[in-house]
Amino acid sequence: MKKAKHFILGVGLLSMIALVAVGCGTTTPTPVPKVEAPKIVATYAGDDTCKACHEGKDTAYHTTKHSKTVKPLADFPLNTAVTNITVFDGADEANLKGTELDLSKAKIYGVMMNEYLLAEVPGFKSKVYRVAKVTKVGDKYDLEAAKAVDVDKDGKPDWQAADATSCIACHAPGALVASPTPGISCESCHGPGSIHVSAPAEKKKGSIMAQPSSTMPNSETCLTCHASNPSKDKTTGVFTTDNHHGTRDYFSSKHVTSGQVNGCFACHTAHKANANGATLNKDNAAEICLTCHANMKYDVEKIMWKNPTDARNHITSDHSFGAMKYEDLGDDLATKPIEITNPAMIDLIKKALPDLAK
């Protein structure tokens, strides 16, 4: 029995040694984890960087009004030097305490639309505010409250800083993304350009800008700010035209519905203003019509009606080109919005914008 046990133990021990030996010879190497290259995120370089290569060669963008939506405060010489102002947070009704803002040290973006001074206010709820407005008095300017409201109820109007978030999305988009150019810059349409800027000369043409909708701006880029679709009052269900953005009712024009026009760029240019300062392909709007409509005579003032009741006094031309005539909309002149109550116009909206009509 003892010999049998010893034999069995010996055989078992040899088997284990053989298994270990075989296993060691076929050990699978531990996989080395793949290290992915860090993703390069494009940042904003600013217009001065773009000008270094493109100014006077491929673009005259800086002659357009777009490029001048935000100007330095230094362009508005003041009648009286103002250093400190006390402002209240217009985005926080619960905050009844004023904050003293030293304009010589504050983060100032500039004057938006030749009127509002944009700046950050430490401790305030939002990022960018209209902290004051500039008003021309004589040859110079006075600095006044952006909005005069008796916030602290002491019987005196206070300087209420108005939250500028919704305004700057279109008028000063650079201020939202920490661009060296706070207004509407080259990169507002083309996207952040740091990758393009840092690319070697031989690879610059292929270095894509980070423009979100395509490799190059198109009509959708324009319509990001220049919206044309109407809106629908949530309470009354009445359709109202887009009164603010400048392409009012473009969606209804045959230029859109026919599919035969190259969108905004059929008439407009992004990079250069004409002799009248407008971003049009020709100096006279009627001449643009003749490009496609030969021998036709159009009265631009009639087919592109002006908005008489704009809530913000943005008196811009309608882009429906007669598809929606103002006198046919059924607008109530007693109200600031422009209502669309004409059944024929409503039917047009339902066909063109079925989701809005739901």
The pLDDT of 328-333, averaged and rounded, is 92
CA 126, CA 172: separation in Å to the nearest integer?
Answer: 15
Task: Please indicate, yes or no, whether residues 246 and 326 belong to a single structural domain of this protein.
Answer: yes
Q: Which pLDDT score is estimated for 203? A: 77
Q: State percent of the chain over pLDDT 90.
A: 49
Task: Please indicate, yes or no, whether residues 119 and 150 belong to a single structural domain of this protein.
Answer: yes
HSE-CB at 35 with a 13 A cutoff on CA atoms is 1
CA 227, CA 314: separation in Å to the nearest integer?
Answer: 14
CA 24, CA 30: separation in Å to the nearest integer?
Answer: 14
Residue 40 is assigned to a structural domain of this protein: no
Task: Please indicate, yes or no, whether residues 282 and 145 belong to a single structural domain of this protein.
Answer: no
By the 10 Å C-beta count (0-12 exposed, 13-18 middle, 19+ buried), 161 is classed as buried
Residue 136 is assigned to a structural domain of this protein: yes
More confident residue, 58 or 230: 230
Given a cut of 80, is residue 115 above it in pLDDT?
yes
Domain end point (choices 142, 174, 206): 174
More confident residue, 215 or 82: 82
Task: Please indicate, yes or no, whether residues 324 and 336 belong to a single structural domain of this protein.
Answer: yes
**Rg of the chain's alpha carbons, rounded to an integer?**
32
Residue 175 identity = A
Q: Which pLDDT score is estimated for 107? A: 96
Out of 66-70, 104-108, 185-189, 306-310, which region has the weakest mean confidence (pLDDT)?
306-310
The pLDDT of 188-214, averaged and rounded, is 74
Task: Please indicate, yes or no, whether residues 241 and 322 belong to a single structural domain of this protein.
Answer: yes
104 phi/psi in degrees, rounded to 5: -75, -15
Give residue 209's pLDDT band: very low, low, confident or very high (50, 70, 90): low
The strand pair at 108-112 and 99-102 is best described as: unpaired
Residue 265 is assigned to a structural domain of this protein: yes
Q: Which pLDDT score is estimated for 26? A: 52
* Token pair for 133: 């407005």
Domain of 157, in residue numbers: 70-174
Give residue 212's pLDDT band: very low, low, confident or very high (50, 70, 90): very low
The pLDDT tens digits of the residues spanning 258-316 come to: 878 878 999 999 888 999 888 999 998 888 998 888 888 888 888 888 877 776 677 77
Given a cut of 50, is residue 11 above it in pLDDT?
no
The pLDDT of 9-25, averaged and rounded, is 48
Given a cut of 50, is residue 167 above it in pLDDT?
yes
Residue 11 is assigned to a structural domain of this protein: no
Task: Please indicate, yes or no, whether residues 228 and 153 belong to a single structural domain of this protein.
Answer: no
CA 320, CA 304: separation in Å to the nearest integer?
Answer: 7
Strand partners, 305: none
285-311 in b/e burial notation, b at 16+ Cβ within 10 A? beebbeeeeeeeebeeeebbbebebbe
The residues, ordered by sequence, that sit 6+ positions from 290 with a Cβ below 8 Å of its Cβ are: 296
Q: Which pLDDT score is estimated for 260? A: 80
Average per-residue pLDDT for the chain: 85
The pLDDT tens digits of the residues spanning 96-113 come to: 999 999 999 999 999 999
The pLDDT of 213-230, averaged and rounded, is 81
Residue 37 is assigned to a structural domain of this protein: no
Q: Which pLDDT score is estimated for 124? A: 96
Strands (DSSP E) along the chain, which ranges? 70-71, 84-89, 99-102, 108-112, 116-119, 129-137, 140-145, 148-149, 158-163, 231-232, 239-240, 339-340
More confident residue, 28 or 52: 52
Contact between 143 and 85 under an 8 Å Cβ cutoff? The reply is yes
Task: Please indicate, yes or no, whether residues 301 and 231 belong to a single structural domain of this protein.
Answer: yes
The pTM of the full predicted model, rounded to 2 decimals, is 0.81
The pLDDT of 323-349, averaged and rounded, is 91
Q: How far apart are the first and last CA of the chain?
A: 94
CA 285, CA 205: separation in Å to the nearest integer?
Answer: 34
* Token pair for 144: 């006044």
Look at residues 358, 317, 314, 354 and name the one whose alpha carbon lies nearest to residue 336.
314
Given a cut of 90, is residue 151 above it in pLDDT?
yes
Given a cut of 90, is residue 7 above it in pLDDT?
no
Task: Please indicate, yes or no, whether residues 154 and 204 belong to a single structural domain of this protein.
Answer: no
The pLDDT of 19-47, averaged and rounded, is 68
The residues, ordered by sequence, that sit 6+ positions from 62 with a Cβ below 8 Å of its Cβ are: 47, 51, 55
Q: Which pLDDT score is estimated for 49? A: 92
CA 182, CA 179: separation in Å to the nearest integer?
Answer: 6
Coil, strand, or helix at residue 238?
coil
CA 358, CA 150: separation in Å to the nearest integer?
Answer: 43
Task: Please indicate, yes or no, whether residues 60 and 189 belong to a single structural domain of this protein.
Answer: yes
Task: Please indicate, yes or no, whether residues 208 and 159 belong to a single structural domain of this protein.
Answer: no
Q: If you ran DSSP here, which 8-state letter would residue 62 be given?
A: G
Residue 4 is assigned to a structural domain of this protein: no
Task: Indicate the number of domains in the chain.
Answer: 3
Q: Which pLDDT score is estimated for 219? A: 87
Residue 38 is assigned to a structural domain of this protein: no
CA 354, CA 22: separation in Å to the nearest integer?
Answer: 72
Task: Please indicate, yes or no, whether residues 318 and 273 belong to a single structural domain of this protein.
Answer: yes
Number of H helices, E strands in the chain: 12, 12
Residue 231 is assigned to a structural domain of this protein: yes
Task: Please indicate, yes or no, whether residues 229 and 354 belong to a single structural domain of this protein.
Answer: yes
